[in-house]
Structure 1
Amino acid sequence: MILGDTILETRGLTKEFKGFTAVNGVNLRVRRGSIHALIGPNGAGKTTCFNLLTKFLRPTAGQIVFNGVDITGERPAQIARRGIIRSFQISAVFPHMTVLQNVRVALQRSLGTAFHFWKSERTLKELDEEALDLLTQVGLADFAETLTVELSYGRKRALEIATTLAMEPELMLLDEPTQGMGHEDVDRVTALIKKVSSGRTILMVEHNMNVIAGISDTITVLQRGEVLAEGTYAEVSKNALVMQAYMGTVDTALTGTHA
């Protein structure tokens, strides 16, 4: 049986592509309320795992259990309704709408109706207070009336987190949230992830080991589609198998001296 403090578990999760096994028998257990990082060299199977968890891919074998329920056969929309939200892909960010309007679009789900793109803006005013509250949470309240296209890259990512929060996630999947950012934006988004993790569970793929070391409770290392090691950052960074997987680059890959 799944443990009470486990929100997500995979059992023997496997995905094959025409004879190539991208994910091979992965057993993953994500603790409720934690920040759990999935790392590994390029081609390790991290993104494939994410695609399996959100059902953009169907597993060849294995089970996915969320809150004690087997969700292996469910469709992406069903997964999202359960509260598993993959940020930066499902979030709705429109460059020529204001920051506030973007969050309001994401909040329309709470009205229980279809999206109101064609309706008068007055019909959506009831969502403004909630939208502004979300923008305050991610540090964007002062940019509410700014066109999204004018935001810096890091602030666009913060907006994407706000639109994801609008979908009321219980489990947030963040796919390389700091990719392509400068140090200032990395620090801002890392602090934001830590802040919004309160009362939620986060599973993230991230290459920046400074980020991983700073906020992760548990790290799972994948290599060639299989779990190589798991533990805290201190445990994983000293693991001989992990060092070997990074082909001698442990000084830069795991000690955080290289983003």
Structure 2
Amino acid sequence: MRPHHGHGDVDRELAQSKIMNDYILQTNDLVKEFKGFVAVDGVSLKIRRGHIHAMIGPNGAGKTTCFNLLTKFLQPTRGSIRFNDIDITRDEPARIARRGIVRSFQISAVFPHLTVLENVRIALQRKLGSSFHFWRSDKALSRLDDRAVELLADVGLDSYSRMLAVELPYGHKRALEIATTLALEPELILLDEPTQGMGHEDVDRVMQLIKKVSADRTILMVEHNMKVVAGISDTITVLAHGAVLAEGPYAEVASNPQVIEAYMGTAQREPEGIGA
């Protein structure tokens, strides 16, 4: 006769299963069609827990559509998505976020006329399930303030806490956005073009920041800057025409003739890094 398992045993088994499962996110033959046009064509991803995984590809390769499928802003036509070995294919976006998948958007998503500290505090209150109330007790708000200051220190913005977000330089706004993302305590962060539109100095700062915050969490990013991709990614998936063209470490992907051809076919010259 099998022994009886209590709730504690089940919890331990689930925890053990999670440890044993090396992949935090997996997709199987993910397809998205728009009126006959196939934007994502049979994409199967395996995102390893604790890694930085980059998704690259020429314009129109299906990267953003893929991101929208993973965060459920779009429903797949076919295929499945599993997070921590749970099928989330039909989950709503809010439920995805509660499970621990948080997306930082391509355009900096902060409240411009609130202070840097208030922006992070709003995200902390969302995590607690309460809305932002200016009239909440000083004790409750100061408890959040302490955590907000810690998060700002993590992203190098502690000295900017009283500044209005609108006054921050562009690269610092992206750092603030990452701080608000971290406030939600995600297991998996999806970064959509985190260095887009930045000068070299800001790119370097955000690149180091991504590396730092990845210490105990998983990051999946879409990124065009090959310096960033080469510098911090553990694994790279290359998409072309909605399908996976190649996957592996940067050196392997960058020397793949199909990858070089895909980029050469859509630009006058190779993007920095590919084929170098």
- Range into which the TM-score falls when normalised by the shorter chain: over 0.9
Equivalent residue for 2:74, pick from 20, 36, 57: 57
Equivalent of 2:163, from 146, 163, 177? Answer: 146
Q: Map residues 109-128 of structure 1 onto 2, 5 A cutoff.
A: 109-113=126-130, 115-117=131-133, 119-120=135-136, 122=138, 123-128=140-145
| 1:126 to partner: Cα distance | 1.8
Q: Tell me, in whole angstroms, the C-alpha distance in 1 between the residues paired with 2:37 and 2:149.
A: 47
Counterpart for residue 6 of structure 1: 23
CA distances 1:134-185 after superposition (whole Å, capped 9, x unpaired): 0000000000111111100000000000000000010000000000000000
* Count of residues paired in the alignment: 257
The answer for unaligned runs of 5 or more in structure 1 is: none
1:229 aligns with 2:246: yes
Unaligned runs of at least 5 residues, structure 2: 1-16
CA distances 1:214-249 after superposition (whole Å, capped 9, x unpaired): 000000000000000001000000001001101266
Specify the alignment match of 1:81 in structure 2. Answer: 98
Matched, 1:243 2:260: yes
**Residue 200 (structure 2) aligns with:** 183
Q: Distance in 1 between matches of 2:275 and 2:65?
A: 27
Question: CA, structure 1 residues 12+256, in 2 after alignment: closer, same or farther (shift >3 Å)?
Answer: closer
In the alignment, which of 201, 216, 219 is matched to residue 199 of structure 1?
A: 216
Match of 1:18 among 5, 28, 35: 35
Q: Is the 8 A contact 1:208 1:256 kept in 2?
A: no
Q: Could you say which residue in structure 2 is the equivalent of 1:155?
A: 172
Partner amino acid for 1:215? I
TM superposition shift of 1:110: 3.9
Deviations 1:19-53 (A, max 9, x none): 00000000100000000000000000000000000
Match of 2:185 among 158, 168, 181: 168
Deviation track 1:99-135 (CA, whole Å, cap 9, x = no partner) reads: 001000000034332x134525735222010000000
Provide the secondary structure at the position in 2 that maps to 1:229: strand
Q: What residue number does 2:271 align with? A: 253
1:211 aligned partner, one-letter code: V
8 Å Cα contact 1:36/1:218 also seen in 2: yes
SS at the partner of 1:145? coil
Shift of 1:254: 4.9
Q: 1:250 to 1:90 in 2, by over 3 A?
A: closer
Between 1:16-25 and 1:243-252, the stretch displaced more is 243-252
| Residues 254, 5 of structure 1: alpha-carbon distance in 2 compared, 3 angstrom cutoff | farther
Give the TM-score normalised by structure 2. 0.88
What is the Cα deviation at residue 91 of structure 1? 8.2
| 1:96-115 paired onto structure 2 within 5 Å | 96-113=113-130, 115=131
Larger radius of gyration: 2
State yes or no: 1:27 paired with 2:40. no
**Match of 2:45, as an amino acid?**
L
Tell me which of 6, 24, 39 is aligned to 2:56.
Answer: 39
Give the TM-score, by structure 1 length. Answer: 0.94
Q: Secondary structure of the equivalent of 1:96?
A: coil
Report sequence identity in percent.
Answer: 67
Q: Deviations over 1:191-219 (max 9, x none)?
A: 00000000100000000000000000000
Contact 1:92/1:163 (8 A) holds in 2: no
Q: Which residue does the alignment assign to 2:10?
A: none
Q: Give 3-state SS (helix, strand or coil) of 1:173's partner.
A: strand
